[in-house]
Amino acid sequence: MSRIQEQVHDKFKIFTGVLQPDGSIGPLADEISRYVSESKIAPKSIGIEYLESAERLIVSLGYRDDEDGYPVTLHSISLGKLNTSGADLNALERKMAQASAGVPNIICHELYITGEQEMFMIFMTHKI
């Protein structure tokens, strides 16, 4: 039975940082996890955008503060270089499935592409 109402949220927090040399979000993941823990909120979603011209990441965190909070962790996983000349979406879906196979307790995910056309998947997971 679905409990969609538990996922519905209308509060957001914005974080910004720099892309790490390996393309990951690096310490920004720890900052977000710390904020969630200290604020005792229930995270529901993330959004991420890499602003190439400014060389900055913008991460939005959607949450609820009217239910018990829980800890989360963010994971950056490279899916490799994006083929911009005719992306094979089935191949991309397989890479996403492979990346998610090693990450337990996924709450949500997001994708971003670096200036070098490397695609990263960010998973927000429940830290048990």
Query: Domain extents for the chain?
Result: 4-126
pLDDT in the model for residue 84: 58
pLDDT of 124 over the 70 cut = yes
Give per-residue pLDDT as tens, 32-41: 999 999 999 9
**CA dist 49 → 17, 31, 41, 107 (Å):** 11, 17, 23, 19
pLDDT of 2 over the 80 cut = no
Q: Residue-wise over 20-34: b if at least 16 C-beta within 10 A, else e? A: eeebbbbebbebbbe
pLDDT in the model for residue 104: 95
pLDDT of 54 over the 80 cut = yes
Question: Burial, 10: exposed, middle or buried (Cβ in 10 Å; 0-12, 13-18, 19+)?
Answer: exposed
Helix, strand, or coil (residue 91): helix
pLDDT in the model for residue 55: 87
Inter-residue contact 109 to 97 (CB < 8 Å): no
Give per-residue pLDDT as tens, 71-119: 999 999 999 987 756 667 788 888 999 999 999 999 999 999 998 889 9
pTM of the model: 0.91
Q: Where are the alpha helices (DSSP H) in 40-101?
A: 89-101
